[in-house]
């Protein structure tokens, strides 16, 4: 935190994360408490850099966003002000390097960076667990981007203050893995349905939802073992089945939510072809048509070439990246 001419200002950098066991469905919409635990890898690409500057003379927050995105940031700042016991409004400057709203986890890096920068600017002294809880209140998946590498977000139990306290992310132990995640950018336009609305509709109307949420609990246990063993095939198989199951719950929602496009399926065929050729490669998709393919780092170029050709799209090779940090303090 710097104090510039009497103004409190902080800049934070955070990276997106991609869930290998997904978060899909809330048990509390206000506190953003999930129905099941999730696990992700933070990437080393597409950082978000956010500066929060308190302005004692301002009579409103200045945020260069519009509509729903702006109200979510302002509601988040209200929460930070309440926790810090301060009243000044803020100027928020956000630089995203990932296309927003395309299911590429821009809200995860965005709210992780905002949580860290605003906590510092408003003088909240939070440890990583408390920061994770705070980031969760902006966007659930942001709880995991506070940490680098692999992180598990505990659903926790209970409601209200007890539920809030119990739901945070923390790093998970991994050994002997040197993974890459190849991002196939089949479509970077904004999605038609926000993940927030799609989640709600799935929980409320999909007859498949409960079965997936239950199996996700088992996936998390299996995933933790596979990561500790450094077994990329097991990690990939669990991630792929968990993601396909999540999309199945959405397809069964009423009306259906379908994020997967023809190009998504072409990439999935490319992933199967790689496996037939003996290259371990496994796919996962979020609230959008883009595909992320988990593989060994040594195979990443070959995987990128294959899935890029299959989807006729650009690719970006990501590796495990750092947790959120204040600029100048990694």
11 binds ligand PMV (CB under 6 A): no
42 binds ligand PMV (CB under 6 A): no
Residue 97: CA atoms inside 13 Å, Cβ hemisphere, count? 13
Residue 213 CB, nearest approach to ligand PMV (Å): 13
Pairing of the two strands 179-184 and 169-171 = unpaired
Residue 305 CB, nearest approach to ligand PMV (Å): 26
216 binds ligand PMV (CB under 6 A): no
140 binds ligand PMV (CB under 6 A): yes
Residue 36 CB, nearest approach to ligand PMV (Å): 10
Exactly one of 22, 81, 137, 292 binds ligand PMV (CB under 6 A); that residue is 22
Exactly one of 151, 181, 220, 287 binds ligand PMV (CB under 6 A); that residue is 287
134 binds ligand PMV (CB under 6 A): no
Distance CA 198, CA 201 (A): 5
**Between 287 and 293, whose beta carbon lies closer to ligand PMV?**
287
Exactly one of 11, 14, 16, 23 binds ligand PMV (CB under 6 A); that residue is 23
CB under 6 A: which stretch of 1-9, 88-96, 137-145, 159-167 binds ligand PMV?
A: 137-145
Distance CA 231, CA 164 (A): 33
Distance CA 104, CA 41 (A): 13
DSSP 209-242: HHHHHHHHHHHHHHHHHHHHHT-HHHHHHHHHHH
Residues 6+ apart with CB under 8 A from 315: 182, 183, 184, 185, 304, 307, 308
Distance CA 289, CA 303 (A): 18
**Between 195 and 315, whose beta carbon lies closer to ligand PMV?**
195
Measured CA distances, 184 to 86, 129, 213, 242, 278 (Å): 43, 32, 27, 19, 20
Exactly one of 11, 37, 38, 50 binds ligand PMV (CB under 6 A); that residue is 38
**Between 198 and 303, whose beta carbon lies closer to ligand PMV?**
198
Residues lying near ligand PMV in the complex (CB under 6 A) are found at 19, 22-24, 38, 107, 139-141, 195-196, 286-287
């Amino acid at each position: 935190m710097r104090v510039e001419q009497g103004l409190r200002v902080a800049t934070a950098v955070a990276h997106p994360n991609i869930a290998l066991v997904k978060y899909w469905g809330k048990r509390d919409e206000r506190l953003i408490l999930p129905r099941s635990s999730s696990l992700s890898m933070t990437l080393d690409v597409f950082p978000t850099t956010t500066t929060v500057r308190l302005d004692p003379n301002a009579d409103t927050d200045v945020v260069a966003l519009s509509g729903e995105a702006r109200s979510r940031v302002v509601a988040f700042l209200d929460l930070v002000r309440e926790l810090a016991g301060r009243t000044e409004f803020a100027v928020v400057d956000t630089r995203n390097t990932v296309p927003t709203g395309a299911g590429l986890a821009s809200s995860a890096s965005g709210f992780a960076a905002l949580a860290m920068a605003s906590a510092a600017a408003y003088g909240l002294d939070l440890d990583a667990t408390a920061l994770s809880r705070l980031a969760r209140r902006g966007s659930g998946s942001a709880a995991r981007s506070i940490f680098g590498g692999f992180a598990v977000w505990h659903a926790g139990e209970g409601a209200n203050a007890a539920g809030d306290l119990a739901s945070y992310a923390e790093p998970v132990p991994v050994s002997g893995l040197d993974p890459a995640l190849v991002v196939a950018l089949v479509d970077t336009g904004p999605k038609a349905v926000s993940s927030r609305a799609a989640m709600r509709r799935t929980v409320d109307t999909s007859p498949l939802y409960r079965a997936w949420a239950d199996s996700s609990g088992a996936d998390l246990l299996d995933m933790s073992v596979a990561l500790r063993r450094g077994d990329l095939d097991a990690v990939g198989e669990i991630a792929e089945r968990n993601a396909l199951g999540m999309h199945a719950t959405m397809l069964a929602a009423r009306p259906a939510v379908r994020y997967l496009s023809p190009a998504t399926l072409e990439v999935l065929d490319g992933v199967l072809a790689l496996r037939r050729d003996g290259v371990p490669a496994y796919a996962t998709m979020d609230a959008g048509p883009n595909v992320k393919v988990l593989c060994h780092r040594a195979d990443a170029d070959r995987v990128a070439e294959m899935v890029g050709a299959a989807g006729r799209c650009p690719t970006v090779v990501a590796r495990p990246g750092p947790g959120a940090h204040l600029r100048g303090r990694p």
